[in-house]
Amino acid sequence: QVPLVESGGGVVQPGGSLRLSCVGSGFTFKDSGMHWVRQAPGKGLEWVAVIWHGENKKYYADSVKGRFIISRDNSKNTLFLQMNSLRAADTAMYFCAREWEQKSNGAFDIWGQGTVVTVS
């Protein structure tokens, strides 16, 4: 059983929209802070957004603020990333990741395999 599985990636034109999903299993999803991280081709890891459990606080990287929306449905153990006004610079592999709050100060201990978004 794979703990995190992303879906929803694809090819979209500049200015278009896409919605990514990430389904969690094997851990208490509703108690976990969940993040989106991306890696553009040939580049490093870039944090995109976080949604905390409980109060559902959300934070975004400056590069996506105002265009992307992170949300979650705890009844379905699912994390979402609504991506609007997409740009070529958003082309990347998008990973969802769990924050290991119980045993660390912010480490990401579980990662999905990623889903590819191409804006062209």
* 8 A C-beta contact, residue 56 and residue 72: yes
Q: Which is nearer to other proteins, 14 or 59 (CB)?
A: 59
Tell me the closest approach of the beta carbon of residue 106 to other proteins, in angstroms: 4
Q: Which is nearer to other proteins, 16 or 107 (CB)?
A: 107
Q: Which is nearer to other proteins, 13 or 66 (CB)?
A: 66
* 8 A C-beta contact, residue 93 and residue 116: yes
* 8 A C-beta contact, residue 67 and residue 81: no
Tell me the closest approach of the beta carbon of residue 113 to other proteins, in angstroms: 5
Tell me the closest approach of the beta carbon of residue 66 to other proteins, in angstroms: 15
Q: Which residues contact 8 (CB under 8 A, 6 or more apart)?
A: 18, 19, 20, 21, 115
Residues that bind other proteins (CB under 8 A): 35, 37, 39, 44-47, 50, 59, 61-62, 95, 97, 100, 103-109, 111-114
Q: Which is nearer to other proteins, 44 or 54 (CB)?
A: 44
Q: Are strands 108-111 and 115-119 parallel, antiparallel or unpaired?
A: unpaired
